[in-house]
Structure 1
Amino acid sequence: MKIGSRTIKTAIGTPISMTIAQLLGLTNFVSAGILTILCIQPSRKKSVLSAWHRFLACIIAAVFAVVFFETIAYNPVVVGIILALFIPVTVYLKITPGIATSSVIILNFFGEGGISLSFILDQFILILIGIGVGLLVNVYMPSMEKQLREKQDELENNFQVILEEIAAYIRDKNETWDGKELTICEDILQDAMYLVSLDRENHLLRNKHPYYDYFVMRRQQFELLQRMLPLVSRLPNTDSISRKIAAFFEKLSDAVHPGNTAVLYLDELKELRRSFDQENLPETQEEFETRANLFRLLHEIEDYLLLKKKFKKSDVSEKKRIKKTGKA
């Protein structure tokens, strides 16, 4: 069983805040530990926002407690009245994450059974310790670079399998593929975008993330792959066109990597289009539908490659491109 960093930080921060509060002689020092537990969040940004929400909610809760307990009575019914009025206020101020922590402060006032300046100061320091320690231990956030790189590798491996299976189907009408890689890609993309959002929130002063655009690009490419599948199934069984398309998909499979060599395959795609234009015009309805599906498929492939081309600067120099394709 793997223990996460959030669990470790909770286990470290809670006794620290309780010890500090106890050494300072604060009443209800255990509450400092509760406040710390509630303040530890999965990202730095959420931690800072949570700390602010909880601090503000605790101050408001202390004011409610002083006013209602002193003017009415120290009674469980009054606790209910305070919560009934206090919770809508937190909703209005958009600080609802602070409801749980501020409830601790309200109960501390109730348990004291009386209000004094020293007790109010005591609770204020308690709030600062509990929330402050939670913020401090949350400063450390493990890097997600390794996890994101693993997601990238896993996604690209599955893209390769999908393209290889498309090529096999076009060439041999191989129907043994169960399509599980499609579901796997969907899950990887979902997990990766969640990790990216967390990692972005761990860098408070950074708006862009190096993996965000990458996974957005792959998400769009994946949608295009899904649209290609029904078009591929309508291609003729065996002819020169299907063989060329199958070979092209195999090349695309080998070219799935973080770099950008899309310009080479866009040039090759143009050559494929020229060769298809030289084919005899369709004579039957079936041939016409096949040709229409073919051109739609070529359009989807072009969009697939253009997404990669726009994603980052090409890794192929113009000189190398001319040498490979023979065209400027």
Structure 2
Amino acid sequence: MRKFKIGFRTVKTAVGVALAIWLAAFLNLEYYTSAGILTILSIQTTKRKSIHAIYTRIVASFLVLAMSYVFFTFLGYHALVLGLLVLFLLPILVMLKVTPGFVSSSVILLHIFNEQHFTLALLENELLIMLVGFGVGFLVNMQMPDIERELNTYRIEIEKNYSAIFSEIAKYLREGDTNWNGRELLLATEAVNKGKSLAYQDVENHITRKENLFYRYFDIREQQLEIIERILPKITNLPTIVTQAHVIAEFMDDLSNNVHSGNTAVKYRGKLSQVKKEFQELPLPQTHEEFVAMASLYQFLEEMDQYLSIKQNFKGLKIKKGKPVFN
């Protein structure tokens, strides 16, 4: 059984429904409770989704008002006419790409059918119900919780696990074997997926912001994770530990101690170039196993260069007093 929890969206829905119905009743509107239904249908997980939802519902509702006047005025208020109207309504909504508005427009449609007479007073009543329902839904859904603290938690989790992975790689390059179970790789994958998903939600909640550094950050970490998953077999399948491995281990230790959300890619690509130079100056392999090991290590260095280059053009997240600040 899942834990009982009242989320922020649930609270917004409850407040929005109560406010919409109270306001519609205050205005003495017929079918005033329908304003609460329209509000419920307008509340979405993000601001952009809410705006799109309201747009589709407004278009569909106005379409229903026009079609209801034509169908019921000329064909009469009969169940068959109602069914015929719906038969034509749905394809038009699909054509206009506003099918999510079908339910809300049906509310308006049934009001008109129930009245059995299309009048200006009825039109005014339905327009005001739409204004109250959609308006309250819009205002309520513009209130979104601050998720930067949670995003920062995932950022820290990723950097901690990347650091641990690099440390284990360095250890393996020195000792040739470790008791590492790969747990940090699984935790990093989970943190990257959850962080990117949450960051996308943050993108959807900022209508005018052109760039979201958190989303970019998690996207970069996802690309880097793919490289990490590729390089691990190159290390764990080394047939022997060669002298060059110790040079790379020192670099990985240094990198392990400096995994953060700033941008030091240029600095460490420079250090990596120096490692490659030292790598090339060491003695040539004497056996086939040493040759295979050196080839794998050189491929590893190329992958690490790619790992660093992915982040080179990223502005970085400047952390101040435990909270990310864009720089």
Q: Which TM-score applies when normalising by structure 2? A: 0.89
Maintained 8 Å contact 1:21/1:126: yes
| 8 Å CA contact 1:170, 1:235 repeated in 2 | no
Residue 172 of structure 1 aligns with an amino acid whose one-letter code is: E
Contact preservation (8 Å) 2:43, 2:138 = yes
Contact kept, 8 Å, 2:67 with 2:85, in 1: the verdict is: yes
2:227 to 215, 224, 227: 224
1:236 Cα deviation from its structure 2 partner: 4.5
Give the drift of 1:58. 0.4
The answer to whether the 8 Å contact 1:45/1:204 transfers is yes
Match of residue 141 from structure 1: 144
8 Å CA contact retained: 1:44, 1:202 = yes
1:100-148 CA distance string (max 9 Å, x none): 1111111111222222221121111111111011111112122221111
CA contact (8 A) 2:159 2:260 kept: yes
The one-letter amino acid paired with 1:65 is S
- Conserved? CA contact 2:285–2:291, under 8 Å: yes
- Conserved? CA contact 1:166–1:249, under 8 Å: yes
Please identify runs of 4+ aligned residues in structure 1 that moved more than 4 A.
Answer: none
Aligned to 1:93: 96
Instruction: Find the aligned partners of 2:278 and 2:203 in 1 and give their Cα distance.
Output: 47
Shift of 1:296: 0.6
Superposition RMSD in Å: 2.1
Q: Which runs of 5+ in 1 are unaligned?
A: 316-328
2:75/2:81 contact within 8 Å kept: yes
**Alignment check: 8 A CA contact 1:40 1:138 kept:** yes
In the alignment, structure 1 residue 22 sits paired with structure 2 residue 47? no
Please name the residue that 1:76 is paired with. Answer: 79
Whole-angstrom distance in 1 between the partners of 2:317 and 2:159: 18
Specify which of 218, 242, 247 is matched with residue 215 of structure 1: 218
Is the counterpart of residue 46 in structure 1 residue 49 in structure 2? yes
Count of aligned pairs between the two proteins: 315
Match of 2:262 among 259, 263, 268: 259
Q: Give runs of aligned pairs for residues 1-328 of structure 1, distance below 5 A.
A: 1-174=4-177, 176-312=179-315
TM-score, normalized by length of structure 1? 0.88
Contact 1:172 1:237 in 2 (8 A): no
- Report the CA distance shift for 1:23/1:102 in structure 2 as closer, same or farther (over 3 A): same
- Distance in 1, matches of 2:177 and 2:112, equals 73
Offset, 1:246: 2.4
Which letter maps to 1:210?
A: L
Which moved further from structure 2: 260-269 or 36-45? Answer: 260-269
1:54-103: CA deviations, max 9, x gaps? 11110101222222233334333333322221111111111122111111
Quick check: 1:13–1:36 contact (8 Å CA) kept in 2? yes
Structure 1 match to 2:324: none
| 1:169–1:175 CA contact under 8 A, matched in 2 | yes
- Contact 2:38–2:133, Cα closer than 8 Å, also in 1: yes
* SS of 2:312 mapped into structure 1: helix
Letter in 1 for 2:30: T
**Residue identity (%):** 38
